[in-house]
Amino acid sequence: MRPAPLGGEERAFLRQHATYEGSALHKRSPGDFGLTPPAAPRLDKTLCDEAKITRRAVADDLLARAIEGGLVSAGEGAPRFPKQLWVVDEHGQVFEAMYGGATEGAYHGYPIRRSDPFFAEVTRAWGRRDV
């Protein structure tokens, strides 16, 4: 996790260039996302459905909130695009947006399990940033 949140210029760049591109690996019922369920689902993947994210508009909003919150990884997925962004929703659920999709600037996202120690780390960092 990067020690400093995104700056204003970085946020503006991501608002303009970052997009959400879902991953069927994180969807039990991917209909609203325009995805085809995987032929061989991986049981270790967290599912957006379990976190009640079943509509694309909600996932788009979470990515926008992650950009505004500015909580990002130190590493980049591509120049000017953080490899990961994190957001905590209004129910206290932590989500990670991971860079890498079919187009430049594309992120896919998924919930982080509460049992994962990183869940608590993101929650603490999110609270310190007053977002």
In this prediction the pTM is 0.88
Question: What does the alpha-carbon distance between residue 86 and residue 21 come to, in Å, rounded to a whole number?
Answer: 16
Residue 39: partners with Cβ closer than 8 Å, 6 or more residues away = none
Instruction: Look at residue 122 and tell me whether its pLDDT is greater than 60.
Output: yes
DSSP 122: H
Question: What does the alpha-carbon distance between residue 67 and residue 37 come to, in Å, rounded to a whole number?
Answer: 28
pLDDT band at 130 (very low <50, low <70, confident <90, very high): low
Instruction: Look at residue 128 and tell me whether its pLDDT is greater than 80.
Output: yes
Tokens of 126: 């999110």
Domain segments of the chain: what residues? 8-128
DSSP 112: P
Read off the pLDDT of residues 42-54 as tens digits, 9 standing for 90 and up.
Answer: 667 787 778 788 7
DSSP 33: G
